Structure 1
Amino acid sequence: MSTSPALSVLDLVPVRTGQTSAQAVTASLALAQRADALGLRRYWFAEHHNMPAVASTTPPVLTAAAAAVTRRIRLGSGGVMLPNHAPLIVAEQFAALEALAPGRIDLGIGRAPGSDPVITQLLRMSGTTSDVERFPEHVADIRKLLSESGASLQFTNGHTYDVHATPAASGAPQIWLLGSSNYSAQLAAAQGLPYVFANHFAGEGLERALELYRTQYQPSPEHPEPVTFLTANVIAAPTAAEAEERALPQLRMMARLRTNRPLIALETIEQAKAGASDFDTLADTIMQAARSKWLVGTGAEVAAELVAFAARWQVDEVMLSPVAGAYETEPMDASPGRTQTLELVTAALS
């Protein structure tokens, strides 16, 4: 493993107060371009639904948009929540993306809903395709559908029916299993797939999940050895004080989510500071616990923590979730705090 880990980006396409979805997407695509120019390894879009502060509802659409404005960086989903979708549709979408950006597409797959129970029911109105218990089967189906040989259906009369995600594949996206529990780690190991533990929000269970994945791994033709990296919430700024201020909006959003408060667009830094007295002890405790797991500081401070983090868990790549908030005077169609996070950390590691 190299001294400095490779860096990647996980983007939820944050939406701040007063910002339109169009402006939020514009800001994220500009961030993807900057990540590409900085030499980062990959850029993934998450799947979340019906959240005022998150515009990453459709990873395939956002991936296609990012492919059009970038040159070399790998792009994909972090991840597609498979129980919300028919496996054939997912395979077709990512086969099309692979045709648009050959050799640059990742298909990260998860089994969480990505929203609340009401939205989950709206998403899962497609019969057996939404059966969470069939998740391993559906992952295997997608792998077959994306292969050059495709998948074959066997009928009771002995006839077969061939199905392909795209008519003439010359390559396929790299499939990753994502999760925050032992289940996904063990499934990835059993199927010989790359695996990512969602460390940016899980909080606990990282050590056990990695142990299960690495010790139970069954080699596959594509991946003879286990392949993994980790995610982390990261904020870098010219000063530690600014970095801490930029952490406030996202920390407060997390506290809202975990205390069942009404969800709102991401506050500006000024709004977050002004609303500090509105939270109770429980919310403050949640914020403090989350902050203790984030990497926040100057570029040099965060870079040093990233090197130590990667070495501790024996990974050569860390996917940054740049969660820096915005000041009121900053433009709506850009993400200065998130951009400077990538720039400062990259410069410090070079």
Structure 2
Amino acid sequence: MTATTPALSVLDLVPVRTGQSSAGAVAATLSLARVADALGYRRYWLAEHHNMPAVGSTNPPVLISLVAGATDRIRVGSGGVMLPNHAPLVVAEQFALLEAAFPGRIDLGIGRAPGTDPVTSWALRHGAGGVDDDGVTHFADYVGNVIAMMDTAGVGIRVGGRTHELRATPAAGSVPEIWLLGSSDYSARLAASKGLPYVFAHHFSGNGTAEALELYRSEFVPSPTLAEPRTFLTLNASVAETAEEADRRALPQLLTMLRLRTGQPLAAQDTIEAAEATPVPEAHRALLDAMRERWVIGAPAQARAEVAGLAATYGVDEVMINPVGGAYADTDPATAPAREDTLRLLAESAR
């Protein structure tokens, strides 16, 4: 990488399109990860979302193990694990084992949002009985618990008047790199206070990014693992040989996000042909155009310039790309060529 070219990473939600099974979506993700690994991308993160017909990334630790096993050098992590959905010890055990299997290659990105609807939150946290908000209310404590439990020396837990030793794995040699993720001031302040790396969800909304990063940087307290603030930018991108083709490929994901933002019924991601045949209500067109404006959509030179410009604007040396290119109806269900093209065409700037 040159001084003016940011390092590139990947965010993957494992999109599921019409006519594609979960198995096909996972196969396409593994192919995409191999492309990112070969092109020199820095890290590959997998999101946590539940009960969404167009998103297959329901279980980051399982997907991380598959992706890390299918690649050679790229860092693999969660973008992120939604901690309120899980017991801290379970998360610590999962990522301690991943780090043991792939030492020096695992990132644990932690988020506070549930990543799903209230009914699925109930099923995730309790299965039966009432849902409470303890996972959110005690988020800061839970983050601290995960960090402590993964320490190579273990942690002492006080129960019944005695201190008991607790280890996430019996003999850890290293620990994952831990990041806090968020889309609010709360996560920025928490990451700063704990001296942790932090990522704002710019790809999701695009609003408030500069303010959150400034807050994080201004309030950062150095920790034993991080001396200075560390962050990067997340972007949705569709890159093709022509701007017109990049725009066509972006449309299926734009319509998926439009349905989500306007409360419409969700479905598997449209093919490009189906997306182009779908009328957009006039009342929704401004929202669609606003989302398109925030994404990087275009031919290679234009897209690379936009990525570099946004990195400079937000003062980061790394950009995590969510490749949003859709597929044509006759595309092999086990592949996502438009997403792979986005990674390849953007990576040319690093050569």
- TM-score w.r.t. the length of structure 1 is 0.97
1:251 aligns with 2:248: no
Give me the whole-angstrom Cα distance separating, in 1, the residues matched to 2:159 and 2:337. 56
Counterpart of 1:12, as a letter, is L
2:211 counterpart residue number: 208
Shift of 1:131: 2.6
Counterpart of 1:338, as a letter, is R
Partner secondary structure for residue 202 of structure 1: coil
Contact 1:11 1:322 in 2 (8 A): yes
More displaced 10-residue stretch of structure 1: 165-174 or 126-135: 126-135
Shift of 1:299: 1.2
Shift of 1:128: 7.9
1:222 aligns with 2:218: no
1:20 counterpart residue number: 21
Give me the whole-angstrom Cα distance separating, in 2, the residues matched to 1:227 and 1:250. 29
1:231 counterpart residue number: 234
Give me the whole-angstrom Cα distance separating, in 1, the residues matched to 2:205 and 2:138. 23
Partner secondary structure for residue 214 of structure 2: helix
1:164 aligns with 2:167: yes
1:175 counterpart residue number: 178
Counterpart of 1:148, as a letter, is T
Residue segments in structure 1 that go unaligned for 5+ positions in a row:
none
1:32 counterpart residue number: 33
Map 1:64-103; keep pairs closer than 5 Å.
Answer: 64-103=65-104
Contact 1:232 1:295 in 2 (8 A): yes
More displaced 10-residue stretch of structure 1: 12-21 or 122-131: 122-131
Counterpart of 2:145, as a letter, is D
Shift of 1:121: 1.6
Map Cα deviations across residues 93-144 of structure 1 (whole Å, 9 max, x no partner). Answer: 0001001111000000001011111111211218889531100000000111
* CA 205–40 in structure 1, closer or farther in 2 if over 3 Å, else same: same
Shift of 1:282: 2.8
2:126 counterpart residue number: 125
Identity %: 55
Which residue of 144, 147, 153 maps to 1:140?
Answer: 144
2:154 counterpart residue number: 150
1:188 aligns with 2:191: yes
Give me the whole-angstrom Cα distance separating, in 1, the residues matched to 2:294 and 2:221. 31
Residue segments in structure 2 that go unaligned for 5+ positions in a row:
none
Counterpart of 1:176, as a letter, is W
Name the count of aligned residue pairs. 347
Counterpart of 1:154, as a letter, is R
- Give the aligned CA root-mean-square deviation in angstroms: 1.3
Shift of 1:203: 2.3
Map Cα deviations across residues 5-26 of structure 1 (whole Å, 9 max, x no partner). Answer: 0000000000010000000000
Contact 1:232 1:294 in 2 (8 A): yes
Give me the whole-angstrom Cα distance separating, in 1, the residues matched to 2:273 and 2:14. 20
Contact 2:200 2:209 in 1 (8 A): yes
Shift of 1:40: 0.3
Partner secondary structure for residue 66 of structure 1: helix
Partner secondary structure for residue 330 of structure 1: coil
Counterpart of 2:136, as a letter, is V
Partner secondary structure for residue 200 of structure 1: coil
Partner secondary structure for residue 204 of structure 2: helix
Partner secondary structure for residue 235 of structure 2: strand
Contact 1:67 1:100 in 2 (8 A): no
Give me the whole-angstrom Cα distance separating, in 1, the residues matched to 2:159 and 2:25. 48
1:290 counterpart residue number: 291
Counterpart of 2:22, as a letter, is S
Map 1:25-64; keep pairs closer than 5 Å.
Answer: 25-64=26-65
Give me the whole-angstrom Cα distance separating, in 2, the residues matched to 1:208 and 1:187. 15
Contact 2:5 2:349 in 1 (8 A): no
